[in-house]
Structure 1
Amino acid sequence: MTLTLLFGLAISFLVTLVFAPFFIPLLHRLHFGQYIREEGPKSHQKKNGTPTMGGLIFLVGLLAGILVMGLKYHMTTQDTYMLLFVTFGFGFIGLLDDFIKITMKRNMGLTSKQKMAAQIVIALAFWFIMTRYDYSTYLSFPGTHFMINLQWFYPLLVLFLLIGVPNATNLTDGMDGLLTGLSVIAFGAYAIIAWFSMNLGVAVFATTLLGALLGFLIFNAHPARVFMGDTGSLALGGALAGMAILTNTELLLAVIGGVFAIETLSVIIQVISFKSTGRRIFKMSPIHHHFELSGWSEWKVVTVFWLVGLMLALIGIYLKVGMAS
């Protein structure tokens, strides 16, 4: 089974690697370039016009890998297709957002209300599918055997995760390769967790997406030749939240995706502080911009954040796999 999973990873990696050099020039010809907001770091202005919507690249790689794993090896399950639904559902929301930004030549795509409404629809659809089958409503506490049945409160947790996590990954996507690298780490952790938990459907999806992201990172690492855009960042958040729900690791996600949580908290803290006192805690939020404006190079910020993400992922794997054995 392990070799077959690695084959799925290799397929998605190769498809992404082959597709990207064809798709990136197409984005250039269509003038689908990123609009860099003026209030952002001045060093980022040189990135203005870099092709965006690159999330489509690894989504194509993911889809190709899943089709091979399903049609040839019959290793996909209901969980795999639920994750495919939520990933492409949030990816479509991001695609609309990116398209509006590009065509209108502004940093604002869908309004916050439009985006929230669309996310709620996808989240409710995901929950509706769960209710048709015998999915657990128990909440597990990392590193312990303690569980609590949330019953009718569980749908609220599903909504919270499927709305909160994509927005957290979206906030994290602010530097070359930052979100892609952190996602490689997070989905790698979930591939291991799913494998040890004998959840084949999630393991197939996680390893296949991991391969696609590794291929995309070659083009997205500093200096980025393409940005994933909201198409990619929202899709990755949907996939990550879906995996946490289907593996009953909702609380553990706060550890494995700890950097995403920190990025989101930095924005919340900054907003609350400015509105209540008129003062900013950070030079700029999300927090990766604070370190950049403090004199760190972009590559240093990204590598340090990757290392923090890796350490948190290893802790998460230990809490779920190591302490259970």
Structure 2
Amino acid sequence: MNQALMVCAIAFVITAAIGPAVIRYLRKMKFGQKILEIGPKWHMNKQNIPTMGGFMFIIGIAAAVLAGNLLAGGLSVSSLAILGLSVAYGAVGLVDDYAKIKKKENAGLTPKQKLVLQILVAGAFILVLFLNSDGMPQLWIPFTDITFSWPWPLYIIFAAFVIVGADNAVNLTDGIDGLAAGVTLPVAVFFVFVGMARSDMGVMIFAAALAGALAAFLIYNFNPAKVFMGDTGSLFLGGAVAGLAFACDMPLILLLVGLIYIIETLSVILQVTYFKATGGKRLFKMAPIHHHFEMCGWGEKKIVLIFSGVTALLCLVAYFCALMPNL
């Protein structure tokens, strides 16, 4: 626990300390967010607020993970693998953000380009898991004591689907001030305790760094936001969440602790499907669903606090009801 708190503190201090400098640099480079005209009209006042602010917590997490490994007296393959996956996805987001800024519109990489890059990154992470494994991959079913092995070819397809899906789900959740960071913070704390319960130093170190850095980032990103994380930050977070789940051999736990991400994604799928099936009618006032609640009159702070609170509750259920009997 002491080591987790130390890593968390390092990530928090570094992220909070470099925040103002990162925001000044982004303003200087005119890396401002472009707002979609089809979005809520009141979002137009966010036009040109600095984006790509995810850099501040990426730097804080990377530094804290390296420091945590040094304090542990050695390098943890799992923590470095999760960091590598997250940074690689952050790099995909960086390319996407830069393309948006260059085009001066809220459209960067094409969906096909982004998907190909995400699959390649997922493939590299799975390769690391394979090289570091000593047998068949295991899959644990939450709320049971059932764990089964399956062939690597099937596992690779499953893992790529889950990792890419989780990455895009977190990306969709990043739509209002503080939402993606606020929802991911309790998930990070959840994995800190999972890492401690499993005596997995690598998972604990990375999750603690993630929690500390996100808490600091919210100083600048909570409504009214001074900076947005951009795809640079949201895709990094998606990789972090997926990487932690696979490092713990419990990707299915994301169905519970990541329920908000899933609901956000399903709202988009349902909206598009219903729109096409009915010739233009909408199931929600706007998707992803956080925008629907905005259009219903909910303030951004209310949405963030409720979505984050629901995630925190689900994390408690996942830990005490699903994990504890099996640890």
TM superposition score category, shorter chain reference = over 0.9
User: Residue 211 of structure 2 aligns with which residue?
Assistant: 210
User: Residue 26 of structure 1 aligns with which residue?
Assistant: 25
Identity of aligned residues (%): 41
Over 3 Å off, 4+ runs = none
Are 1:267 and 1:286, in contact at CA under 8 Å, matched by a contact in 2? Answer: yes
When the two chains are superposed, the root-mean-square deviation of aligned CA atoms in Å is 1.2
**Closer, same or farther in 2 for the Cα pair 1:75/1:43, shift >3 Å?**
farther
Q: TM-score, normalised by structure 2?
A: 0.96
Classify the secondary structure of the residue corresponding to 2:223.
Answer: coil
Shift of 1:236: 0.5
Are 1:196 and 1:321, in contact at CA under 8 Å, matched by a contact in 2? Answer: no
User: Residue 306 of structure 2 aligns with which residue?
Assistant: 304
Classify the secondary structure of the residue corresponding to 2:139.
Answer: strand
C-alpha distance in structure 2 between counterparts of 1:156 and 1:90, whole Å: 18
1:215-261 per-residue CA deviation (whole Å, 9 max, x = no partner) reads 11110000000000000000000111111111011111110011000
User: Residue 122 of structure 1 aligns with which residue?
Assistant: 121
Count of aligned residue pairs for this structure pair: 324
Shift of 1:75: 5.4
Classify the secondary structure of the residue corresponding to 1:79.
Answer: helix
C-alpha distance in structure 1 between counterparts of 2:167 and 2:287, whole Å: 17
Aligned partner of 2:318: which letter? G
C-alpha distance in structure 2 between counterparts of 1:228 and 1:76, whole Å: 29
User: Residue 296 of structure 2 aligns with which residue?
Assistant: 294
User: Residue 44 of structure 1 aligns with which residue?
Assistant: 43
Are 2:285 and 2:295, in contact at CA under 8 Å, matched by a contact in 1? Answer: yes
C-alpha distance in structure 2 between counterparts of 1:68 and 1:139, whole Å: 31
Are 2:142 and 2:323, in contact at CA under 8 Å, matched by a contact in 1? Answer: no
Shift of 1:71: 2.7
Aligned partner of 2:190: which letter? A
Q: TM-score, normalised by structure 1?
A: 0.97
Are 1:8 and 1:69, in contact at CA under 8 Å, matched by a contact in 2? Answer: yes
C-alpha distance in structure 2 between counterparts of 1:72 and 1:263, whole Å: 38
Classify the secondary structure of the residue corresponding to 1:323.
Answer: helix
1:4-58 per-residue CA deviation (whole Å, 9 max, x = no partner) reads 2211110110000110011101111111000000000011110010000011000
Q: Is 1:78 aligned with 2:80?
A: no
C-alpha distance in structure 2 between counterparts of 1:7 and 1:14, whole Å: 11
C-alpha distance in structure 2 between counterparts of 1:257 and 1:214, whole Å: 18
C-alpha distance in structure 1 between counterparts of 2:321 and 2:159, whole Å: 22
1:95-138 per-residue CA deviation (whole Å, 9 max, x = no partner) reads 01001111210111011111111111111111111221216522
Aligned partner of 2:305: which letter? T
Shift of 1:150: 2.5
Aligned partner of 1:149: which letter? S
C-alpha distance in structure 1 between counterparts of 2:172 and 2:288, whole Å: 7
C-alpha distance in structure 1 between counterparts of 2:285 and 2:117, whole Å: 32
Question: Which blocks of at least 5 consecutive residues in structure 2 are unaligned?
Answer: none
Task: Please give the residue correspondences for 1:158-307 in structure 2 after superposition, counting only pairs within 5 Å.
Answer: 158-278=159-279, 279-307=281-309
Aligned partner of 1:167: which letter? N
Question: Which blocks of at least 5 consecutive residues in structure 1 are unaligned?
Answer: none
User: Residue 137 of structure 1 aligns with which residue?
Assistant: 137
